[in-house]
Amino acid sequence: MANSEKTNATKPDEEVKKESEIDDRQIRDVVAPPRFPLAHNQLFRPDGSIDLECLGKHLNKEGRIELDDAFYLVKTCSELFKKEPNMLRLKDPITVCGDVHGQFFDLLRLMEAGGDPADTQYLFLGDYVDRGCFSCECVFFLCAHKITYNSTFFMIRGNHECRHLTSFFNFKDECNYKYNSDLYDAIMECFDNLPIAATINGKFLCCHGGLSPDISTVRFKKKKSFSVPRAN
């Protein structure tokens, strides 16, 4: 003990100063991202329901989820979308939300402002991915809410919910980097099943990007085509 104290006491002032500077540069209130994916038994409760709060906190730390759980969220949500019509007919009160574009932290704030999904209807108007760097997190979080609140949580398709734009922009690369190409394909199939528009109280038409001023009448097929028309 005496030798140790003696060693510290005889350290050059410059060396002690360097150690102090290194310690001061550590930003202790910024937590490093989780090293491991969220465990299955943390994401799902014993009854099989999704722990939305736990998922939100984990994704907020830039954490990832197990690949099998990611597939479950996406494919389960895909089946729910498949059962919905092209045109959703909704009633107020309802919170209508615009583009998310991979901004997961903004999505959290948006839903804080919009109200608890347990007590509030939601309608998202598309463009969940691309541009931002947290598109996977947005997809998982929205899918988890759709599964939990299927009858009051609605999503329609935007122009970025397609293979062409997600390849041109950054979502495909993000998904392949964080997970794999099979999950990307599953998410694209999920997007294929999304409704394309909604009405509220039979008076307000909600769709992504609006309509051309040259259009005066719109008719939606009840049966989905599950494909995107070619640009040409």
Catalytic residues: 160
- 180: its two tokens: 């794999």
Backbone phi and psi for residue 31, each to the nearest 5 degrees, phi listed first: -85, 140
Cβ proximity of 122 and 114 under 8 Å? yes
The three-class DSSP label of residue 154 is: strand
- 77: its two tokens: 């949500």
Cβ proximity of 204 and 216 under 8 Å? no
Closest CA to 149 of 95, 196, 190: 95
How far apart are alpha carbons 38 and 54 in whole angstroms? 9
